[in-house]
């Protein structure tokens, strides 16, 4: 009887401690990097082609979570923080209802900075989280997550996992 209890307890902990859903590595011959998607809910909606040089994913639908990955070629010596400030000053601050959020150092396979911000789209409170990952002194990858504020806040652990898993081929 005691062995049965131990086996049951081990099985319970194995189920509760294992990750929800298997992580899937995503890559393509059209891109020079790979990422891990922590949930099967993430799906690709647009791959790079002659007209678009970025990759797009959704978490269910665009309001639940939307990810756009762009490769930014910058002037030599420009840091991820410099690019984040340039984007804020030239693009983000012009969004309806823009409110600047946190700015944090970020490290994974590539290091950089994560910035967050809030804005309004069609009367709904939205949240943006951008991970600027420095690949070299001229290349920064921007992982731009957006969606309804509560939804993007809820999947913060997944956005972090995706950004940490970002790897150059």
- Domain limits for position 75: 21-168
Token representation of residue 107: 């490290």
What is the pLDDT averaged over residues 130-141? Answer: 97
136 occurs within a structural domain: yes
In a domain, residue 139? The reply is yes
- Check pLDDT > 50 for residue 14: no
Residue 33 domain-assigned (yes or no): yes
Q: How many domains does the chain have?
A: 1
User: How far is residue 109 CA from its own chain's centroid?
Assistant: 13
| Domain assignment of residue 15, yes or no | no
Residue 3 maps to a domain: no
The rounded distance, in Å, linking the Cα atoms of 8 and 14 is: 10
Q: Tell me, what's the pLDDT at 50?
A: 65
Q: Is residue 72 part of a domain?
A: yes
Q: What is the pLDDT of residues 32-54, one digit of tens each?
A: 999 999 999 999 998 877 667 78
Q: Apex CA 93: angle with CA 106 and CA 152, to 5°?
A: 50
For 1, 8, 13, 29, 43, the CA distances from 4, given in Å and listed in that order, are 5, 6, 14, 50, 41
11 within domain boundaries: no
The CA distance from 118 to 147, in Å, is 10
What's the pLDDT tens digit per position in 56-82?
999 999 999 999 999 999 999 999 999
Global pTM reads 0.84
Percent of the chain exceeding pLDDT 70 equals 86
159: Cα within 13 Å, side-chain hemisphere: 30
Within-domain flag for 36: yes
Confidence band of 23 (pLDDT split at 50, 70, 90) = confident
Q: What is the pLDDT of residues 91-133, one digit of tens each?
A: 999 999 999 999 999 999 999 999 999 999 999 999 999 999 9
Whole-number Å distance between alpha carbons of 88 and 77: 19
| CATH number, domain containing residue 25 | 3.40.1000.10
């Amino acid at each position: 009887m005691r062995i049965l209890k131990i086996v049951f307890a081990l099985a319970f902990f194995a189920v509760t401690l294992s990750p929800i859903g298997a992580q899937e590595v995503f890559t393509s011959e059209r891109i020079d990097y790979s990422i891990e998607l922590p949930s099967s809910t993430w799906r690709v909606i647009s791959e790079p082609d002659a007209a678009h040089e970025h990759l797009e994913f959704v978490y269910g639908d665009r309001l639940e979570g939307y990810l756009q990955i762009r490769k930014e070629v910058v002037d030599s010596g420009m840091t991820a923080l410099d690019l984040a400030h340039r984007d804020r000053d030239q693009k983000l601050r012009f969004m309806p209802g823009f409110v600047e959020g946190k700015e944090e150092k970020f490290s994974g396979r590539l290091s950089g900075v994560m910035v967050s911000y809030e804005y309004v789209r069609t009367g709904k409170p939205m949240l943006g989280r951008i991970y600027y990952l420095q690949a070299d002194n001229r290349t920064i990858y921007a992982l731009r997550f957006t969606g309804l504020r509560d939804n993007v806040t809820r999947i913060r652990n997944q956005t972090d996992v995706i950004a940490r898993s970002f790897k150059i081929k």
